Structure 1
């Protein structure tokens, strides 16, 4: 178990030197922007980082005194599970074509309710797997019936993701966007399936290295998911039209108009007039109270 200190330490260093500076820059440039896609993007990274920090603390103490603080591991794993659920919610947002070929989230309330139920189910399965693990027979919770149920829930969400992506591609006529959805779907399918394949492969690995390899692969895949999602959202060639709010230093006049859709999200149209009499229209989508706060901050 002492080797896991090095694994988590390397993971924390990777987070600090690659995603964290990029995230800080984006947060600074998007101070007045509160869109659900961006909130999900920042939040799942933060939860991954906190979960790895707590696990590192436990294994570092364990390497020192041979006991550790196992409650930190359980809290860290639960936080990581919540982060994965938020990542799945973000993937469903993109699969529905939100801000790609539509500005209105399709069945937004049902998606959020599904996310809440999935998070509760996965956290409950993890807690149940910890309770039912026999320390004499089983040395980890990955091969318990509760964990197998969590894999079934993950497969169910995967099929839902495929269905939503199919609905979106049927409505899409642009060839380049269709290619984007196809590549995005293939990449996400690998992410959805890998835990099942990993557990099956690790059943043939000796117990001495099994848990270490599982944790190492999970950490690596989560880190790669951050890099891939960052590229999808902020690449110069991205098809996701994230709303942007320009600086207000050179603004002479701002006209703000808000309308409501059926999903509880509001559309805010902002018309800006600069000194050259050029008009820029900016459309921002999000919950009404967030848009009102944004308007107040700008005024």
Structure 2
């Protein structure tokens, strides 16, 4: 007989009961207090291939520490320093908003990674740190969506005034509220024993449906902006920006539908990997497009007027050098006489 090793979920239940004289289980009515300490781990403690980042995690949560560490290194060592440098070189509201998005994303990753590292050693972690990290991630996702909607309307690129502000902020606010509702619903209402993920609840379906609706409105606004714009560089920016943003909008509903067919043992890691990979690619693309040498071709930048060079060139002009100062200061029109006098 061949024994096939497969992964399973195991659950432990403690019941206040005992065996009676007939060896049958019966409830214990006495008010007993029991103290116990359970250390449930995944694997053999003394195994040679013992991995500290997997020992306290169930199989569906293993390898998540490595995913977070890769994201922290990429954001902390590449994206955030580059974007902070770009924001210092180019003072612009779009650049500042995107910089804030990346900082929020990095903060969320740092808090979540800290929780997982502590959990990998004591099996408990820090629930408060984990919640703070998740809230930072939600805020980063919300700010990034706001940035995409503002760019689709051509704000600070084609025009400085926003049209249909109420609709814009209403959709953005509703989506942000649904994300928060989904998070707390999944944390408090969904039982860990249930074979579902966060997008198989009614807040999850509402969030995905609203995301698709916002994507359609995003394409509508982007089309109107491109029809209004005639600058070639700006049109090229909107074309590439629209294609990349469309992928970011649509990936989550598609992955959520695919996850329905995936085993619960792999579902969480699939959603986590795709989510952070898509966000990382979208943020990398936006960093590339908003780099100062490139973005100055299409962003509306405000420069302080310095006319000193123009005045120097004017003073060195031939008609200034060949005429006396008094001639230049003589008015072209004499108010005391009717004919127009031109000084030569």
Alpha carbons of 1:155 and 1:236: their partners in 2 closer, same or farther (altered >3 Å)? Answer: same
Hey, what does 1:272 align to over in structure 2? 306
Mark the runs of 5 or more structure 2 residues left unpaired by the alignment. 1-60, 314-344
Shift of 1:133: 0.7
Instruction: Figure out how many residues of one structure are paired with residues of the other and give that number.
Output: 252
Q: Which whole-Å CA distance do the structure 1 matches of 2:286 and 2:126 have between them? A: 33
The 8 Å contact of residues 48 and 79 in structure 1, kept in 2 or not, is answered as yes
Q: Which whole-Å CA distance do the structure 1 matches of 2:154 and 2:312 have between them? A: 30
Higher strand share: 1
Q: Are 2:277 and 1:243 aligned?
A: no
Alpha carbons of 1:64 and 1:278: their partners in 2 closer, same or farther (altered >3 Å)? Answer: farther
Hey, what does 2:69 align to over in structure 1? 9
Which has more radius of gyration?
2
Hey, what does 1:232 align to over in structure 2? 289
Q: Which whole-Å CA distance do the structure 2 matches of 1:218 and 1:7 have between them? A: 11
Alpha carbons of 1:107 and 1:241: their partners in 2 closer, same or farther (altered >3 Å)? Answer: same
- How do 1:7-46 and structure 2 match up within 5 A? 7-30=67-90, 33=91, 35-46=92-103
Q: Which whole-Å CA distance do the structure 1 matches of 2:243 and 2:149 have between them? A: 14
Partner of 2:103, secondary structure, is helix
The normalised TM-score by structure 1 is 0.75
Q: Which whole-Å CA distance do the structure 2 matches of 1:2 and 1:153 have between them? A: 31
Shift of 1:99: 2.9
The normalised TM-score by structure 2 is 0.66
* Counterpart selection for 2:129 from 59, 72, 82: 72
Q: Which whole-Å CA distance do the structure 1 matches of 2:276 and 2:144 have between them? A: 14
Shift of 1:225: 1.3
The 8 Å contact of residues 151 and 196 in structure 1, kept in 2 or not, is answered as yes
* Counterpart selection for 1:163 from 220, 240, 246: 220
Mark the runs of 5 or more structure 1 residues left unpaired by the alignment. 246-269, 280-299
Please give the per-residue CA displacement for 1:160-206, whole angstroms capped at 9, x wherever unaligned.
Answer: 11111121122233455434323322211111010111111222222
Shift of 1:145: 2.1
Alpha carbons of 1:132 and 1:218: their partners in 2 closer, same or farther (altered >3 Å)? Answer: same
Q: Which whole-Å CA distance do the structure 1 matches of 2:189 and 2:169 have between them? A: 30
If asked which structure has higher relative contact order (CA below 8 Å, sep 6+), I would say 1
Task: Give structure 1 regions of 4+ aligned residues with deviation exceeding 6 angstroms.
Answer: none
Q: Which whole-Å CA distance do the structure 2 matches of 1:144 and 1:72 have between them? A: 25
Partner of 2:306, secondary structure, is strand
Hey, what does 1:124 align to over in structure 2? 181
